Amino acid sequence: MAKSVTAAPNDLVPHSPKTRGGATRRRHHGAPPGIAWILPGFVVSVGLIYFCIGYNGFLSLLPWDWRPGRNSPMFDSEALEGLGNYAAALQKDLFWTCLKHTLIFFLVAYVVQCLMGIIFAAILHSKVYLGTLWKVIIFIPVVVAPAIMAPVHRRVFAVDGPINWILQHLGLINVDGMGNRNWTGWLSWLLNHIGLSSVTPNWIQPSTSLWVIIAVQIWGSIGMAFILFFAAMGQIEPEILEAARIDGAGNIRVLWSVIVPNLKPTIVSLAILNAITALKLFDQPYLITAGGPAHSSEFLGTYIYGELFQFHSKPQYGGAATLSIMLLVLAVGCSIIMSAGSRGQSPAKQAKKRARLAKKNLEVAA
């Protein structure tokens, strides 16, 4: 007769999973414990940012000259323009002028920031007298608000401002009895031979106002580039630099062939920051030149503001919303394109690749 086997009571009870320390791990099927902490920020983000973006996108579908009023219903399907506003924006010369100014601003400011930031960071990584003081001096313009410095910059670039005063005492500007200022000396000869004889010692004019904005931006942002490069140089392994010097590389060769290749992630990040800054630039052109004269320093930010409050007798809400959405698309697109190249490899692989590149450069130099 076969014997019946009865399961032990302990075998009928499912075993709870245990952690390494032997304690029973309980499963929670409710909401994550951190949801209460992120929910307020999530609500504010969605409510104030993404809702406003969506509402702005809806306004861009209304007529270009739409504005709130009794005779302009918002939710009338017959009043919707669809993508017509975007086509109209692309046909406006001022839109392309703003894009050209943005591109020039980005290229010049970015190149100068990279060069000056790397040079300052490399110098202050060596033993420099009062190095901390120099770091503070370089970084101070970053923390000064543009609204505070705008009156100072307008005065600096004025006709009778400090720049023209210095050039006058250097013999490069002549002031006649009527107070008119003209170039003299080798500077006048140079401007005549490069086709810039129409440029006068007035910096806020159509031919030079854009460069004034670029100079002000460079002055206010070199400190940030310096901090980024200074921190990135501190993460380079000293063994790599020591090996390069043992191979006979000088300071310039070490900087160009070893340090700069290791700064690629920082250079890409700085390019993204400069692209976004150039696209959303508003405060400096508006406060210093107001986008003029004759739209010579107009950017997308000042163009959007002008469509609302300056260029027309009545605000153009539809047009301003259309330009805002186009600005958003450009900013996001530039960020994605510029960061795509740096996402292909892990940080460890990128470090090995930079080390191989640095070694190859040294071998070529030798």
Tell me whether residue 65 is in a domain: no
Pair 125, 193 in one domain: no
Looking at this protein, which amino acid is placed at residue 164? N
Pair 325, 179 in one domain: no
Q: For the chain, how many structural domains are there in total?
A: 2
Pair 265, 302 in one domain: yes
Tell me whether residue 49 is in a domain: no
The pTM for the full model equals 0.77
30-58 tens-digit pLDDT: 666 777 788 888 888 777 888 888 888 88
Residue 233 makes CB contacts below 8 A (sequence gap 6+) with 121, 122, 125, 259, 263
| Structure confidence at residue 13 (pLDDT) | 46
Q: Minimal CA–CA distance to 273: which of 209, 222, 324?
A: 222
In a 10 Å sphere around its CB, with 0-12 CB exposed, 13-18 middle and 19+ buried, how is residue 86 labelled?
Answer: middle
| Structure confidence at residue 106 (pLDDT) | 94
Show the tokens assigned to 281.
């630039």
Report the distance separating Cα 234 and Cα 315, nearest Å: 51
Q: What is the 3-state secondary structure (H, E, C) of 67-112?
A: CCCCCCCCCCHHHCCCCHHHHHHHCCHHHHHHHHHHHHHHHHHHHH
Q: Minimal CA–CA distance to 184: which of 194, 170, 198, 196?
A: 170
Report the distance separating Cα 200 and Cα 192, nearest Å: 12
| Structure confidence at residue 12 (pLDDT) | 47
| Structure confidence at residue 350 (pLDDT) | 56
Pair 218, 329 in one domain: yes
Q: Minimal CA–CA distance to 326: which of 365, 359, 300, 290?
A: 300
Pair 192, 299 in one domain: no
Show the tokens assigned to 282.
């508003």
Residues (pLDDT < 50) of the chain are 1-14, 70-71, 346, 364-365
Q: Greatest CA separation found in the chain?
A: 133
| Angstrom distances, CA of residue 263 to CA of 66, 117, 122, 219, 259 | 49, 11, 12, 22, 7
Tell me whether residue 102 is in a domain: yes
Tell me whether residue 175 is in a domain: yes
Tell me whether residue 254 is in a domain: yes
Looking at this protein, which amino acid is placed at residue 86? Y
| Structure confidence at residue 30 (pLDDT) | 60
Boundary residue ending a domain (168, 186, 202): 202
Pair 163, 189 in one domain: yes
| Structure confidence at residue 197 (pLDDT) | 74
317: containing domain = 93-147+208-365
Pair 256, 343 in one domain: yes
| Structure confidence at residue 304 (pLDDT) | 92
